[in-house]
Structure 1
């Protein structure tokens, strides 16, 4: 994301006087309640409470979030808006949130996931980064909270965190699990979330790559920390492999060459085979060099192989539709209750 910005100066210099915090939710009322509770603890010295609005998009046909939103709205220090988007899909839900922000007229909007909790300084750090850098958007780090003690390889490898390198001024990729965006800048860009990613996931990566082509750079806000709840079922090689396989298909879709075209398929095949070969060779070399003593090193090689597999599979249109049948939240554990 190093292209020369093409945004107008007024957008860059306009102060943010109001903000909407957007949370998209599907059949996870307990997680949503925990997320909303964390927002009540926000410290917002630069904004009065009435300048902050919480927008919850309920993406389930059953309106699973309705009761949670109503209870929270009755006691919240902020204004709370519930939006029902019955057509299931990540892009549809996020576009519904943006539409609500446009209707409300807030200067900026932030996204946080319904399985995350914000630290008290989260929003203030995002806003300060926008003001300091003048960039159209800023992202913060996401650190995991594991439901159960994970194996050492998962902790050592950092596979469940979204964190930019120390000292980075701009993010490698934009992401919607911890981001703030100037509404006027997005309006000017004329780009939204593409519904083609509703079931695939990666709608945020696709959006920010399209915005990068328009000159956007995404600032890093290292102090804008959120924590993501990680269920025990995710802490498994199979889950990681599926996630990384999906990123290969996403890479094929967001490449400069048209997805599914002869040139696009040839490029995806070549890149995928190269990754599989390189990943396999690196895994063998790591094992021979004693990598088995630190399994996280071998798991990193799995990332390269799985992503290559996703690229190769994209050649015949076989993509991982991770969100076609999203998992419905189970009954909260005692530990979940304690964190709420």
Structure 2
């Protein structure tokens, strides 16, 4: 055991027991070399311990080493921080509680990180659409996540499909910022900061996890809110490190982009729903950025 490399898988969950069960099952099925030891740390952000029954099922099966804890304060950043503190492995992997990992997911992340001598590596999240998915949702690509060629250097990332060296996380207090705990974005803020501090982050396109798209995400209202929230988070991150001149340039650029997006919407409506939604997404991304000037944020994770 002493010669093994330990990877801690950190998984935060909130009131999604059935989806969590699928995620943990996919972790049980990981194809790993004998020199890798995996420990799973699940933090429930539900003070009522809604995931405990599912966790006990997997403890009884004994196929994975799993530890469970609760973060009672509603805050995704605090839940992530608690999960990181629970382990001591040299590497920390993250996956969401509504995702299913491919059997070689962790192996690809680990091999890629070592091959490119990186400090962190990210992989794609592939959406699985139900048979009743509206055509415009699929064709527009609005739900699709980023994808890059393996080995591509990236400037930020999310904790939905990630492996990082613990030494990176140890450099920062938290390491996730609780101020993003109800809006999201603490992961993007951390990894953007890490790149500025000289850490190397790359992409591994073979390390696939999938995510079933629920009906409530395939609506105009959801995509509008998600775009607005995404714009807010991005602006909060970049403005925190910007000079006065950069802030002024950002403001006038966003104002121009917002104006152009408003003018494009009527023309997009002539071309069809998918083009209309793409134009509206651009509009709300920019409106979200400008809205940070009000100091009022959209709290997607507040329940």
TM-score by length of 2: 0.91
Match of 2:120 in 1: 137
**Mapping 1:123-162, distance limit 5 Å:** 123-162=106-145
Aligned partner of 2:182 among 199, 202, 219: 199
Structure 2 counterpart SS, 1:18? strand
Distance in 1 separating the partners of 2:246 and 2:38: 44
Deviation at 1:138, TM superposition (A): 0.3
Q: Deviations over 1:301-337 (max 9, x none)?
A: 2221001111222111222111111xxxxxxxxxxxx
1:96 to 79, 82, 90: 82
Note if 1:116 corresponds to 2:94.
no
Distance in 1 of aligned mates of 2:134 and 2:153:
31
Pairwise CA distance, 1:276: 1.2
User: Structure 1 runs of 4+ off > 6 angstroms?
Assistant: 261-265
* 1:284–1:173 distance in 2 versus 1, CA, 3 Å: farther
Moved more, 158-167 or 214-223: 158-167
CA contact (8 A) 2:156 2:195 kept: no
Cα displacement (A) at 1:24: 0.3
Shift of residue 149, structure 1, vs aligned partner: 2.5
Mapped partners of 2:34, 2:202: distance in 1: 19
The total of aligned residue pairs comes to 301
**Alpha carbons of structure 1 residues 88 and 317: separation in structure 2 relative to 1, 3 Å:** same
How far did 1:267 drift? 5.6
Structure 2 residue 11 is matched with structure 1 residue 23: yes
Q: Does 1:59 align with 2:45?
A: yes
The 2-side partners of 1:118 and 1:23 are apart by 12
Gaps of 5+ in 1: 1-14, 326-340
Q: 2:260 aligns with which of 278, 284, 289?
A: 278
Q: Are the equivalent residues in 2 in contact too, given 1:268–1:311 (CA < 8 A)? A: no
2:164: which partner in 1? Answer: 181
Matched, 1:84 2:64: no
Distance 1:316 1:219, change over 3 A: same
Query: 1:229 maps to what in 2?
Result: 212
SS in 2 for 1:315: helix
Secondary structure of 1:87's match?
A: coil
- Contact 1:122–1:226 (8 Å) recurs in 2: yes
RMSD between superposed Cα atoms in Å: 2.4
- 1:31 Cα shift? 1.1
Change (3 A) 1:319 1:268: farther
Query: 8 Å contact 1:56–1:82 — kept in the other structure?
Result: yes
> Is residue 111–residue 180 contact of structure 1 (8 Å, CA) maintained in 2?
yes
Of residues 71, 75, 93, the one that matches 2:61 is 75
Q: How far does residue 16 in structure 1 lie from its aligned partner after superposition?
A: 8.2
Provide the rounded CA distance (Å) in 1 between the counterparts of 2:111 and 2:275.
Answer: 36
- Structure-2 change in CA distance of 1:131 and 1:65 (3 Å): same
Residue 298 (structure 1) aligned with residue 281 (structure 2): no
Q: Give the deviation of 1:99 after TM superposition.
A: 0.6
